[in-house]
Amino acid sequence: MTKSGAILDLSPADRLAYAGEIIGAPVRVERSPGLRHGLEGVVVDESLSMLYVRVAGRPAPVALPKSGLSGTILLEGRELPLRAEALRVRPEDRTKRLLTGGPRRFH
């Protein structure tokens, strides 16, 4: 499955959930490059290639590359698989990309 094919394979309900705001969403990360153990926390920020998660007991958010990320995220009251390929886009472009099936970056 290609990255763009994976995006198109999302159900309409999953597309809507991913197209919305993810800051403030609880996440459970099972695997991420450079992460030795899984973690649970709340998304506090994101960029094109990074997700920042506040973890209880840590003084600063944990920076996680979106590429290679796997786990679950709670969106719209549903626990969804973390789809790194759906998240690896500028946050402001994610809605357009997911709802229109458009290109990864807009020029």
The residues, ordered by sequence, that sit 6+ positions from 88 with a Cβ below 8 Å of its Cβ are 48, 49, 66, 67, 104
Instruction: Determine the number of helices (DSSP H) and then strands (DSSP E) in the chain.
Output: 4, 6
The answer to whether 8 and 101 have CB atoms below 8 angstroms apart is yes
d(C-alpha 58, C-alpha 54), whole Å: 8
More confident residue, 15 or 75: 75
What's 3-100's CATH class?
Answer: mainly beta
Q: What is the rounded average pLDDT of the residues 80-93?
A: 78
What does the pLDDT look like over 3-14, one tens digit per residue? 444 455 678 787
- The reply to whether the predicted model has a pTM over 0.85 is no
How many Cβ atoms are within 10 Å of 66's Cβ, its own excluded? 21
What does the pLDDT look like over 5-54, one tens digit per residue? 445 567 878 777 877 788 999 999 998 887 888 999 999 999 888 999 99
Which pLDDT belongs to residue 103?
Answer: 53
